[in-house]
Amino acid sequence: MASKCNLSALFPIQSQLDSALDNATNQQEKENLVYQYLRKLDDNDDLRIPDFDEGLEWLNTEGPLSFTRELAGKVVVLDFFTYCCINCIHILPDLHQLEKKHSVKDGLVIVGVHSAKFPNEKVLQNVRSAVLRYNITHPVVNDGDARLWHELEVTCWPTLVLIGPRGNLLFSLVGEGHRERLALFTNTSLRHYRDKVLLSDHLVGTKLYRDSLPPSLLSFPGKVAVDSSRKRLAIADTGHHRVLVVSSIGLVLYSIGGPESGRKDGNLDEATFCSPQGIVIKGDTVFVADTENHLIRKIDLLEGQVSTLAGVGLQGTDMEGGAMGPQQPISSPWDVALGTAGGEEDNMLWVAMAGTHQIWALFLENGKLPKRSESKAGTCVRFAGSGNEENRNNAYPQKAGFAQPSGLAPAPEEPWGCLYVADSESSTVRSLALKDGAVKLLVGGERDPLNLFAFGDVDGKGVDAKLQHPLGVAWAPDQGLLYVADSYNHKIKVVDPKTRQCLVVAGTGEAGDVLGPGLTESSFNEPGGLCVGEGGRVLYVADTNNHHIKVLDLDTKTVLPENILSSGPCKVPKLPKSASRVKMPPLAVSPGQTVNLELVLSLPEGTKLTEDAPSFWTLSAEGNEWLLGNQVVTGDITNLSQPLSIPAILPAVLKATEASPSLTLSVWVYCCLAGGGACMMKAASFTQPLQIGSTPRNGSVTVTLAHAF
């Protein structure tokens, strides 16, 4: 690449403009200043930039682009980014806004120049996955060796460089938070060069990779959480902008949000999210880090409602907090975890605030952080992290520095008493003491707090161990072990906090989707989250770029052959031909009432429920799914000594339907002879027709469904 102009030559010229713009009092004055600046630049032929190297890999285009061919006659915005960088993600909405306002025919082309930080980010397939994940539709070049970066003397991510129609440097914007100035520079440049008849309206050949992909059940799942007491998983289906709640047999019980992004509270069937990441489930409540909406959301499955607990829906810059949640701006929350602080158990949420490099607390009930005054329910406040992007450990939590914290795992039990943090950009796992907020290194990184390039793939102890951009952590209290999603090494690792020893559990180190004979022969692709189930015997992994939730059996040291999702939303397992089918007489009910189905089952004489097999029931309304909010309701059967009470709340507003709707309750029961030996599976279904009146009423109607196997 021939040596040409770089940003060092531009900075002295643009700095005068920036200073004048800071002092300008109105929009017209700002535009006039930019026009004067552009006229002065046009007289300078020394600001031509070098072209892209030949042989580079391009995405979203029909072929390579050049400033002397396809980009000639265009105003070009070069976005120097790397896909791990939260600051780079923050400016994508600014670029999307520009693309909506100005088309290629108008003379604007945005080109993403991917200049990798981590070795894993140089791989084209990984860049392609990031382009899909972040919905980037403009051309992207994979400049793996950062040649143009070095030629132009770019110094940090993100950097925006505006190029004129002759391949000449116009402006540079470093970092995020320049939406207004970017719009000013772009709008004025387009008008200026259109008036000079230097713009061309020719198209630049585009070919979006996403258009060639088949649909998938999951799309870049970011995080996964388990409620062991109810044997349910919650999945952040990030690429589909939705949250799934899944039974232990892989049945989708609830699908909230998607497939398009949005920001809406309300009923489960109307609420929307934007690239949710962190998730935690307890009983009938799911908490969600709605990352690109900059919100913390609550899903109440019992009430069928989604609400906002914190955030205003726009990226915030506040690094202190203290306001009530819905009035408190926050920035790219990436993970959430339940915690206890000076009050009742699980009275608050820990939040990994990736956008400001901090750990925050959102109080669900009144509580108190260490060395702080009491906080009222709803308060959202910073707990640890100065806001500087650093790998700085400190006994004082607000003087410590994090670098894009992306995963949380509370370990409140003694002797641990801490919150473990996957600090992705420093490639470390850190501990945050719950009693005083002291931040310490567990594994990874190095001792220089300003070096965020101390990464690798090395088993070892403490600082000698090396990770590459870990995104998730999960605590196994029964074993006293911490599992780590070492995302860019495509591995799952385990850390013993007592010895600070870090070892590989699963993964080959190469991106793939291979099921090997053992854990270390199986492959992953940028796993982003994980959680521990079955008392530490099972590890659920959000294998993000493979679009799977994988199940690791830690006892047998194998990856189970089935993904956790084996069926789509609102589908029930097929009943065997031998199943008993009972049709009940019609039941008179009213809109808004609750139908209580009391299930009474009797096992064959001499048998008992099988403890190791999951007996369960499902409630559906085939053909009239609206009766159950378009969900399949299910539950486990663990005790038949008392009737099972299964409520179905009818909508207060009916849909027009020609046929009388019905509820169908199906049961699958696994039982064995009490003395051991033979085991069997029994199944039955009950169809309950409903005669729904026209007048809404409150209250409930109970019907008993009884069957002896």
Domain stops at, among 155, 185, 211: 211
Residue 552 has pLDDT above 70, yes or no: yes
CATH number at residue 672: 2.60.40
Q: Are residues 286 and 172 in the same domain?
A: no
- 494, 481 contact by CB (below 8 A): yes
Which pLDDT band, with edges at 50, 70 and 90, does 629 fall under? low
Per-residue pLDDT tens digits for 462-497:
999 999 999 999 999 999 999 999 999 999 999 999
Which pLDDT band, with edges at 50, 70 and 90, does 696 fall under? confident
Which pLDDT band, with edges at 50, 70 and 90, does 563 fall under? low
Who has greater pLDDT, 611 or 661? 661
CA 221/CA 223 separation, integer angstroms: 6
CATH number at residue 274: 2.120.10.30
Residue 474, pLDDT score: 98
In sequence order, which residues have a C-beta less than 8 Å from that of residue 705 and are 6 or more positions away? 582, 584, 597, 598, 599, 600, 665, 686, 688
| Phi, psi dihedrals of residue 112, rounded to the nearest 5° | -80, 125
What would the mean pLDDT of 536-557 be, rounded to a whole number? Answer: 94
Q: Are residues 41 and 117 in the same domain?
A: yes
Report the share of the chain in percent with pLDDT over 70: 94
Per-residue pLDDT tens digits for 615-628:
788 888 877 777 77
What would the mean pLDDT of 358-386 be, rounded to a whole number? Answer: 96
Least confident span in 29-43, 245-259, 508-522: 245-259
Query: Does residue 675 belong to any structural domain of this protein?
Result: yes
Query: Does residue 568 belong to any structural domain of this protein?
Result: no
The total of structural domains in the chain comes to: 3
- The per-residue pLDDT of the chain, averaged, comes to 91
What would the mean pLDDT of 239-265 be, rounded to a whole number? Answer: 88
Strand arrangement, sheet containing 159-163? 57-59, 140-142, 108-114, 75-81, 159-163, 169-174
In angstroms, what CA-CA distances link 599 with 290, 618, 632, 643?
38, 12, 17, 5
Q: Are residues 206 and 274 in the same domain?
A: no
Q: Are residues 24 and 68 in the same domain?
A: yes
| Phi, psi dihedrals of residue 27, rounded to the nearest 5° | -65, -40
Q: Are residues 197 and 318 in the same domain?
A: no
Least confident span in 81-95, 288-302, 506-520, 681-695: 681-695
Residue 570, pLDDT score: 41
In angstroms, what CA-CA distances link 64 with 70, 131, 346, 515?
9, 17, 54, 36
Domain stops at, among 167, 184, 211: 211
CA 115/CA 579 separation, integer angstroms: 60
Query: Does residue 362 belong to any structural domain of this protein?
Result: yes
Task: Select from 244, 540, 278 the least CA-distant residue to 410.
Answer: 278
Residue 349 has pLDDT above 90, yes or no: yes
Q: Are residues 333 and 475 in the same domain?
A: yes
User: CA angle 543-545-547, nearest 5°?
Assistant: 65
CATH number at residue 174: 3.40.30.10
Per-residue pLDDT tens digits for 304-318:
899 999 999 999 999
Q: Are residues 533 and 595 in the same domain?
A: no
Residue 413, pLDDT score: 95
The one-letter code for the residue type at 564 is I
CA 392/CA 402 separation, integer angstroms: 7
CA 109/CA 113 separation, integer angstroms: 13
Query: Does residue 572 belong to any structural domain of this protein?
Result: no
* Residue numbers of the domain that contains 697: 580-708
β partners of residue 682? 669
Query: Does residue 329 belong to any structural domain of this protein?
Result: yes
Which pLDDT band, with edges at 50, 70 and 90, does 567 fall under? very low
Sole residue written with tokens 């008493």 = 417
Helices (H) and strands (E) in the chain, counts: 6, 45
Q: Are residues 199 and 340 in the same domain?
A: no
Which pLDDT band, with edges at 50, 70 and 90, does 67 fall under? very high
Query: Does residue 331 belong to any structural domain of this protein?
Result: yes
Query: Does residue 150 belong to any structural domain of this protein?
Result: yes
Which pLDDT band, with edges at 50, 70 and 90, does 569 fall under? very low
Strand 587-589 to 679-692 pairing: parallel
Q: Are residues 405 and 481 in the same domain?
A: yes
Rounded to the nearest 10 degrees, the angle between the axes of helix 179-195 and helix 86-101 is 40
Structure tokens of 544? 């993000």
Beta strands in 165-317 (DSSP E): 169-174, 224-227, 232-237, 242-247, 252-257, 266-267, 279-282, 285-290, 295-300, 305-310
| Phi, psi dihedrals of residue 626, rounded to the nearest 5° | -60, -25
Query: Does residue 574 belong to any structural domain of this protein?
Result: no
Per-residue pLDDT tens digits for 159-199:
999 999 999 999 999 999 999 999 999 999 999 999 999 99
Q: Are residues 318 and 191 in the same domain?
A: no
Q: Are residues 418 and 308 in the same domain?
A: yes
Domain stops at, among 211, 237, 272: 211
Residue 137, pLDDT score: 94
Strand arrangement, sheet containing 548-553? 529-533, 538-543, 548-553, 558-559
Per-residue pLDDT tens digits for 570-588:
445 677 777 899 999 999 9
What would the mean pLDDT of 104-129 be, rounded to a whole number? Answer: 96
Q: Are residues 514 and 425 in the same domain?
A: yes
Residue 3, pLDDT score: 44
Per-residue pLDDT tens digits for 385-443:
999 999 999 999 999 999 999 999 999 999 999 999 999 999 999 999 999 999 999 99
Residue 1, pLDDT score: 37
CA 34/CA 40 separation, integer angstroms: 10
In sequence order, which residues have a C-beta less than 8 Å from that of residue 148 and are 6 or more positions away? 1, 50, 52, 53, 78, 113, 115
Residue 2, pLDDT score: 39
Which pLDDT band, with edges at 50, 70 and 90, does 238 fall under? very high
Structure tokens of 323? 């306001």
